Amino acid sequence: MASLPSRALTCHSRAVCSTVVLPHVAYSTLSQPRFLYRPLEDVERLEYYQPGGYHPVDIGDRFHGRYRIVHKLGHGTFSTIWLARDERLSKYVAIKVCTADASRREIGILSHLNDPAHGKAGRREEALTPTILDRFDVQGPNGTHLCCATAPARCSLADAKEASICRLFQLDVARSLAAQLALAVAHIHERGVVHGDLHLGNILLQLPAGLDSLSAEQLYEKYGAPEPEPVVRRDGNPLPPGVPSHGVPPVWLGDRCERIRLCDAKLVLADFGVAFRPSSEQRYKSHTPLELRPPEARFEPSTPLSFPSDIWSLGCTIWSLLAHRSLFDVLLATEDDVTAQQIDVLGPLPDEWWDKWEARSKYFAENATPVEGRCVWSWERRFEQWIQEPRRDKGMATLDEKEREAFAAMVRWMLQFRPGDRPSAKEVLQTEWMRTWALPEVVVKEVPPRLISETAAYK
């Protein structure tokens, strides 16, 4: 059986964090004890099985007259995701079973992205974002749950890193993933959509062909059968209705990041749960994790977020594809610590932000030099110690001088403090690093045909 990486110490899926409050769920978790049940590792918070919350699903359940649940794929704050056999088409699908009170925003955004009325998208272009294969509602003890079927994926890029000790993708793979991600972002921006939560946990690796030919038994043999664990109340009372008798840890279809080969490195940009269209909705709060959160969300809270906020997160995500750790370190860090790191790496804040930043004297003297004794990690130091050195240590390829300069120029442009100074996603695709090093790693036939002709025109 393939080994499953423990996600217990990470928080890509916000539901695993005990301190999280569900932002757009209509019920409150405050009126009840924090932990009603014994927590199960790699299983969603069981307290969210309550009216308005998750729907209890069992292995073997049949949905919509055709989807037989064979395993669990994962969970998020607003859904559990299951591997199901589509008995009509004899293939596997991922069924996302949303919480009863989850907004239906994601399905609306995905339908908009896939709608031919908004411009003809190539087959490959569509492959960079999820295609809704089916949608239906399920009634259960906790309410009515929107379910949608999409292609199952192997794992998220965050999971592929967490499963690894060195936490590095091969250089050609990292370049290819960076290019595909920029293509995906260019595609959604062109359709007027801001993703709003770009990070490695929301980028999935596509499954190589071949899974569909396996029966459920063969799949269990190869990847391991489900191992449901009993749900137990801490006070010893029986389980209330709407709570499953067992929790199911997810199957591991993925691989350690360093073992992923270029030919298998095909991504899909997922989780459009907080995506929005700036033309029809104003959004002020960023849902992106702190290490990739655009600084305007902090310093210009009354200006609506827009496409450049994705570009900031895209720049940070591309860094994380090449490095073994994120550009801005958030371990035990506050928002102020992160702002200080951003200045250490990128240079001074815009004057009006600097004046607004109350905690600045903790990190900088009035002449903007770091306070005495504070350890400053510049871009160069982070690049050397978090990208080049670990790659050298593992016998992996490193970036030569020219690539290094082109990479820095691109990422630093994406990380301009003022949103208006950042490139558009299309301009990112035209940068020297993308054209010379990243796009050529994407197998030509896999690139959206229209975007190929556009990027070819830039050469």
Ligand X SMILES: Nc1ncnc2c1ncn2[C@@H]1O[C@H](COP(=O)(O)OP(=O)(O)OP(=O)(O)O)[C@@H](O)[C@H]1O
Q: CA 394, CA 258: separation in Å to the nearest integer?
A: 10
Q: CA 381, CA 399: separation in Å to the nearest integer?
A: 15
Per DSSP, what are the bridge partners of residue 150? 94
Q: Does 15 bind ligand X (CB under 6 A)?
A: yes
- Smallest gap from Cβ 201 to ligand X, in A, equals 5
Q: Does 94 bind ligand X (CB under 6 A)?
A: yes
- Smallest gap from Cβ 166 to ligand X, in A, equals 21
Residue 291 or residue 300: which is nearer to ligand X going by CB? 291
Among 5, 53, 56, 76, interactor with ligand X by CB under 6 A: 76
Among 150, 164, 317, 431, interactor with ligand X by CB under 6 A: 150
Contacts of 262 (CB under 8 A, 6+ apart): 170, 172, 173, 176, 441, 443
Residue 15 or residue 173: which is nearer to ligand X going by CB? 15
Site string for ligand X, 263-282 (x = CB under 6 A): -------xx-x---------
Q: Does 74 bind ligand X (CB under 6 A)?
A: yes
Q: Does 226 bind ligand X (CB under 6 A)?
A: no
CA 29 to chain centre: 25
172 contacts 441 by C-beta, under 8 angstroms: yes
Q: Is 96 annotated as a binding residue?
A: yes
Residue 93 or residue 414: which is nearer to ligand X going by CB? 93
Q: Nearest residue to ligand X, using CB?
A: 76
- Smallest gap from Cβ 98 to ligand X, in A, equals 7
- Smallest gap from Cβ 254 to ligand X, in A, equals 9
164 contacts 258 by C-beta, under 8 angstroms: yes
**Dihedral (Cα; 206, 212, 215, 218), 10-degree rounding:** -40
Q: Does 161 bind ligand X (CB under 6 A)?
A: no
Q: CA 412, CA 408: separation in Å to the nearest integer?
A: 6
CA 350 to chain centre: 29
Instruction: Show contacts with ligand X in window 360-389 (CB under 6 A).
Output: none
- Smallest gap from Cβ 258 to ligand X, in A, equals 19
The sign of the CA dihedral 413, 416, 418, 424 is positive
**Dihedral (Cα; 154, 155, 156, 158), 10-degree rounding:** -140
Distances (CA, A) of 308 to 196, 272, 423: 10, 17, 8
Site string for ligand X, 107-146 (x = CB under 6 A): ----------------------------------------
Beta strands in 202-351 (DSSP E): 203-206, 229-230, 246-247, 267-269
- Smallest gap from Cβ 255 to ligand X, in A, equals 14
- Smallest gap from Cβ 443 to ligand X, in A, equals 22
Please state the φ and ψ torsions of residue 434, each to the nearest 5 degrees.
Answer: -65, -50
Instruction: Show contacts with ligand X in window 197-216 (CB under 6 A).
Output: 201-202, 204
- Smallest gap from Cβ 140 to ligand X, in A, equals 17
Among 36, 43, 70, 73, interactor with ligand X by CB under 6 A: 73
Alpha helix (H) ranges present in 17-156? 105-114, 123-127
Please state the φ and ψ torsions of residue 37, each to the nearest 5 degrees.
Answer: -120, 160
Residue among 192, 146, 455, 178 nearest 315 (CA): 178
- Smallest gap from Cβ 131 to ligand X, in A, equals 10
**Dihedral (Cα; 49, 53, 59, 62), 10-degree rounding:** 140
Q: Could you tell me which stretch among 43-51, 148-156, 371-379, 395-403 binds ligand X (CB under 6 A)?
A: 148-156
Among 49, 78, 383, 417, interactor with ligand X by CB under 6 A: 78
Residue 201 or residue 315: which is nearer to ligand X going by CB? 201
Q: Does 79 bind ligand X (CB under 6 A)?
A: yes
User: How deeply is 380 buried, as exposed, middle or buried, from its count of CB atoms within 10 A (0-12, 13-18, 19+)?
Assistant: exposed
What is residue 104's DSSP assignment?
A: S
Among 42, 47, 63, 77, interactor with ligand X by CB under 6 A: 77
Question: How many residues belong to the site for ligand X (CB under 6 A)?
Answer: 22
Annotated binding site for ATP: 96
Annotated binding site: 96
**Which residues are near ligand X by CB under 6 A?**
13-15, 73-79, 81, 94, 150, 152-153, 156, 201-202, 204, 270-271, 273
